Structure 1
Amino acid sequence: MPSQPLPVCFNHSVHIREIACQTCHGSASESVSALLRNEVGLRFTPIYGEDGGDSVPLALRSPMQKSLPPRWWSDLLSFIQPLVSADWGTVRRPVFLTSSNFGIDALYGISSERDVSYAPWATPHGCLAFLKKELGWGDNVTILSHACVSAQLGLYQAAQSIHQDFADEALVLSFDYVGPFVAAGFHSLKILNGQMPAPYQAQEFGSIGIGDGMAYAILDKQDKAPRITAQALYNEMYHFTSNAPDASGFTKTILSIQQALESDNYWIKGHGTGTLEAGRFEAETTNKLLPRHPLVSWKGSIGHTLGSCALVELALALAAHEQGEIPGTVATTGECLAPNVQKDSFAAKDFDSTLFLSNAFGGAHGAMVVSYV
């Protein structure tokens, strides 16, 4: 295990100029309104969609079915119309494309239909080729995929490209849609099961829900709010899927970025998928090291949007601050794993920054501080 995380990167002049997302509830503002109403977007759905299978909690934007182009394609194109520009992907305007799955669910179409027409959609490079052709992007596009920290990595690379003056502005785009290949994979691990997720709740068994999600952010170098003021990354390298049992990865990541929390008026947007071990590690570590700061997760409503969750939930947090009310941890009603878990909504005006945490298979961690002043 690495003894220390990477040094924290301070980016006080990296400004989030534009950001948007879509979840099962709709746009960022629509999703925040649904979260404030404690609406759960997850529905029990067969893991193989039209082909049946065990029912698990999924938060979908459209029925899960085999199709060409894939069901996410037209939805994504409609969402990213504001990004149609030949200037993206050029030397000073790089694109960072992130996802944990990209078009991997096309593999299910290949195997079940014996149709090689699905093949061009089945890889990150294939998906990028379709996007470049449709949007007129240049070749300065970086693909990043590392499980649930994928969007954190994209935001990290984009912010650093601006901070180091390698770019004037940068685009981060992320999308993850649920399909049978992904749903069956999580189901085989028994963390996607017949139980609805309740992030950070103390219970006998844990569970997750997964959902469709897409988001983009445009960053530039302006000293305006909201700003990405600090970022940290750490990978435990302990195991392919599990965290170190002493929670050292969570501790080292938070300690590394604690110095960047200049203000004491911040809340914590946790990862909070609903699994017990990682949920306990995150809740207990934040409560120990960052006491009195509310910890929330929204995955009990919108599902875990996988590699895109950091960017999707960043868009939701910014929209919530604009609306003036931060949603609490939806779908969690019982005793929690630590007292800092916030189940009810709270006023945004009491906070001037947010700590965003992401955690992934194998003990990969990302942390980011965003300031609103």
Structure 2
Amino acid sequence: MQRVVVTGLGMINSLGSNVTDSFKAIVDGQTGIDKITLFDASEFTAQIAGEVKDFDPTAIMGKKEAKKADRFIQLGIHAAQEAMEDAALVTDNKVSDDISESFGIVAASGIGGMTNIEKNSVVCANRGPSKISPFFIPSSLVNMLGGFITIQHNLKGPNISAVTACAAGTHAIADAYKTIALGGATKMLVVGAESAVCAAGVGGFASMKALSTRNDDPKTASRPFDKNRDGFVMGEGAGALVLETLESAEARGAKIYAEVLGFGESGDANHITTPTMDGPLRAMKAAYSMAEKNNGGELKIDYVNAHGTSTPVNDKNETAALKELFGGAENCPPVTSTKGQIGHCLGAAGAVEAIIAIKAMDDGVIPPTINQIESDENCDLDYVPNTARKADVNVIMSNSFGFGGTNGVIIMKKYTK
């Protein structure tokens, strides 16, 4: 099978509109979580989120086209454009015809166009069905994220989507890897995007008691693995990665950020919203086993970007699964969650966090888990508390777990010839 590498990165979130600025702010321990401004949340139990600030979609697409696309699509287009430019694969924003048919996309989102679904439902109820926008459906479908981007960049290869809740971004990377490794494409663009900070989105998660209600102190509301964590904080944003065969990347002299060594996927078969330890553990074991085989032997993981949602159950279970995988807390590598900085980006989280982990390898620095205030006896690993750490990072693992008991894990290593 073909070896698969990462040659382009793009990202936008509540801390920055590109990879460099976002990662620097994350490493510096900053947080983009604040009071919600996208709608009036004053009557909601959760009133905080990691919103993307000062975003102008017309900077990356025409004004008429922007009206046809939900915000999650707009954010995804922004990240995709950065990744494609970073990979040096576009001229006038398009790939050449000689590679377009072997260049595909995997789009990922947990919910899709929830803002437009909410808006048009209100229009239908209050003003009647004739007032529903003709762009409502095209702007809301998850696969339209891929549709818009393939048109923009002339990508005519496989056009597929992952819609697996908070594991979608990681599953998209795995799907792109499979497609390339098995010869279905030479290059694949992965784009995970989410924008569900709206009344229905926040209200829905809040009604499940899944969100932090620490509204008076937004900056410390998301505190993964801390004893007093009380739920996750919603975030929005997008992450994009260009994957291609090693042969293709070397032939064109591309910068290679990482090689994808393995992935793991599993189902809990337990509960629609409550996670288990078993499902994530099996996904980690599967990823580790594949990565060792593809690496030609024993593999040492230097850093784990955890799912780390700041919910009582997830953080306890993920910690237990990691200790089981590595044979005890003393054998675990550093583990961090960056959701305290940018919130939980739901279906985009896997793509965004894979980029953060790759940057940790590239820059030689492990980002911190901020808001580590009081230790929890059930969360007893090295979470790199509050301050980033210089480190030689050669192999990373990134975890994503979603509602419905769907789990995804990806392992990558620094590329060396």
Establish whether residue 164 from structure 1 lines up as the match of residue 182 from structure 2. Answer: yes
Deviation at 1:192, TM superposition (A): 1.3
Unpaired stretches in structure 1, ≥5 consecutive residues: 1-10
Partner of 1:143, secondary structure, is strand
Partner of 2:225, secondary structure, is coil
Partner of 1:15, secondary structure, is strand
Q: After TM superposition, list the pairs within 5 Å mapping 1:67-86 onto structure 2.
A: 68-69=67-68, 70-72=70-72, 74-81=74-81, 82=85, 84-85=93-94
2:370 equivalent in structure 1: 330
Q: Check conservation: 2:9, 2:241, Cα contact below 8 A.
A: yes
Inter-partner Cα distance in structure 2 for 1:14 and 1:126: 26
Question: Which structure: greater strand fraction?
Answer: 1
Question: Which structure: greater helix fraction?
Answer: 2
Establish whether residue 213 from structure 1 lines up as the match of residue 237 from structure 2. Answer: yes
Q: Check conservation: 2:41, 2:47, Cα contact below 8 A.
A: no
Q: Among residues 283, 286, 294, which one is paired with 1:256 in the alignment?
A: 286
The amino acid that maps onto 1:276 is: P
Q: Check conservation: 1:96, 1:158, Cα contact below 8 A.
A: yes
Matched pairs, number:
356
Q: Check conservation: 2:4, 2:180, Cα contact below 8 A.
A: yes
Q: Check conservation: 2:109, 2:348, Cα contact below 8 A.
A: yes
2:262 equivalent in structure 1: 230
Establish whether residue 199 from structure 1 lines up as the match of residue 233 from structure 2. Answer: no
1:116 equivalent in structure 2: 132
Establish whether residue 182 from structure 1 lines up as the match of residue 201 from structure 2. Answer: yes
Q: Check conservation: 2:75, 2:237, Cα contact below 8 A.
A: no
Deviation at 1:174, TM superposition (A): 1.6
Question: More deviation in 258-267 or 145-154?
Answer: 258-267
Deviation at 1:333, TM superposition (A): 2.1
Inter-partner Cα distance in structure 2 for 1:353 and 1:243: 26
For normalisation by structure 1, the TM-score amounts to: 0.86
Q: 1:265 to 1:152 in 2, by over 3 A?
A: closer
2:405 equivalent in structure 1: 363
2:302 equivalent in structure 1: 266
Inter-partner Cα distance in structure 1 for 2:272 and 2:51: 28
Q: 1:164 to 1:256 in 2, by over 3 A?
A: same
Inter-partner Cα distance in structure 2 for 1:331 and 1:202: 10
Deviation at 1:269, TM superposition (A): 0.8
Partner of 1:159, secondary structure, is helix
Deviation at 1:73, TM superposition (A): 5.2
Establish whether residue 25 from structure 1 lines up as the match of residue 21 from structure 2. Answer: no
Residue by residue, what CA displacement relative to the aligned partner does 1:315-363 show, whole Å, maximum 9, x if unpaired?
A: 12222333332111122222041233321422232x2101111111122
Q: 1:129 to 1:15 in 2, by over 3 A?
A: closer
Question: More deviation in 357-366 or 135-144?
Answer: 135-144
Deviation at 1:371, TM superposition (A): 0.4
Q: Check conservation: 1:353, 1:370, Cα contact below 8 A.
A: yes
Deviation at 1:255, TM superposition (A): 2.8
Q: Check conservation: 2:368, 2:389, Cα contact below 8 A.
A: yes
1:96 equivalent in structure 2: 106
Deviation at 1:129, TM superposition (A): 4.5
Deviation at 1:25, TM superposition (A): 0.9
Unpaired stretches in structure 2, ≥5 consecutive residues: 56-65, 125-130, 215-220, 248-255, 293-297
Partner of 1:210, secondary structure, is coil
Establish whether residue 303 from structure 1 lines up as the match of residue 343 from structure 2. Answer: yes
Residue by residue, what CA displacement relative to the aligned partner does 1:63-105 show, whole Å, maximum 9, x if unpaired?
A: 89xx945445555444433463266995421111111122122
Task: Calculate percent identity across the aligned residue pairs.
Answer: 17
For normalisation by structure 2, the TM-score amounts to: 0.78
Q: Check conservation: 2:360, 2:367, Cα contact below 8 A.
A: yes
